[in-house]
Homo-oligomer: A and B are copies of this chain.
Amino acid sequence: MVLDPPLPRPMIGRLVVIGLGLIGSSILRAADARRLAEVSVAYDAEPAVRARVAELGIADEVASSPAEAVKDADIIVLCVPVGAMGAVAQAIAPHVKPGAIVSDVGSVKGAVLNALRTHLPSGVHVVPAHPVAGTEYSGPDAGFATLFKNRWCIVTPPEGADAEAVQAVTALWTALGANVETMTAEHHDLVLAITSHVPHLIAYNIVGTAADLEKVTSSEVIKYSAGGFRDFTRIAASDPTMWRDVFLNNREAVIEVLGRFTEDLIALQRAIRWEQGETLFDLFTRTRAIRRSIIEIGQETAAPDFGRERG
């Protein structure tokens, strides 16, 4: 799949990306491919990452400080872990020009919105967003220009947000290849708790449980992982800092959804214990239909086994 061709003329003056991992570097690549900005500026707290991005040549400028990065910026997109958003906002606050837009890509929106609004001056437009896309790899080399193509990006403008600023963020994500949906930060955090956060927690957890069993060795777990276990190890290989921050910043929704998950799991365990085959069969039939729907709307491949290489 390829991106649409470059725009006839850039829609953004200075586009600044702070945090140059999988998501940040993918934004730069897609913006470059479609020529979305007159100038793209990149910054990362890690000097080695800045050097690598300069080497990759995916930004017009690589700044050496947050202050330098955001000078005269029109849109600033923060692509750092959720727990670092507040500190970055604080660092850039004195240097952002009035009327500029600050957005982000964090997987939690309520906590990020609070952090950004606490630190940024009122003349700056805060319009948080979350592209629901990624892989299990991290860092500037893991990014690619089509990461957002055909994925959803959820924009969560605060009440009273400037309509033009919201429109600019929507246009940016549409140009990056995504479909944009708008909802409140609160609803976003609940939706993502079930579609992303709790699935990640469960995946991390089963991999941990497997590693700690005494009666089954780690090498057995690894060897026979094709029975289903290996599927879980993919998202359990995601960036530890990013995911620690997600759980610490979306506590209420995660704990609420986890409560439901555990209740349902204990009911299933009871059905197994009391040999209620019909309860199991009914659930297992229902869940099949949901995958079919996901494939139908183009959010999943129909290829067997995710299209993994055979053999």
Contact = CB atoms under 8 A, between A and B. Distances in A.
Interface of A: 1-2, 107, 132-137, 142, 144, 146-147, 149-152, 154, 177, 181, 190-192, 194-213, 215-216, 218, 220-238, 240-241, 243-244, 247-248, 251, 254-255, 257-258, 260-262, 264-266, 268-269, 272-273, 275, 277, 280-281, 283-288, 290-294, 297, 299-301, 303-311
A95 to B, nearest CB: 29
A251 B271 CA distance: 10
Contacts of A299: 222-223, 225-226, 230
A295 to B, nearest CB: 9
Majority secondary structure of chain A interface residues (helix, strand, loop or mixed)? helix
Copies per complex? 2
Given A229-B194, A244-B277, A264-B209, A234 B311 contact: no
Contacts of A147: 310-311
A205 B268 contact: yes
Contacts of A209: 194, 257, 260-261, 264
Contacts of A202: 202, 206, 265
Contacts of A243: 280, 284
A107 B228 CA distance: 12
Contacts of A272: 247-248, 251, 254-255
A311 B212 contact: no
A221 B260 CA distance: 15
Given A223-B152, A288-B237, A311-B177, A230 B300 contact: yes
A235 B234 CA distance: 14
Contacts of A203: 228, 231, 287
Contacts of A255: 269, 272-273
Nearest to A250: B272
Contact of A216 (B133, B191, B285, B286): B191
A233 B290 contact: yes
A311 B237 contact: no
Contacts of A212: 260, 264
Contacts of A268: 201, 204-205
A290 B261 CA distance: 25
B205 A224 contact: no
A66 to B, nearest CB: 24
A227 B281 CA distance: 27
Contacts of A218: 290, 293
A248 B277 contact: yes
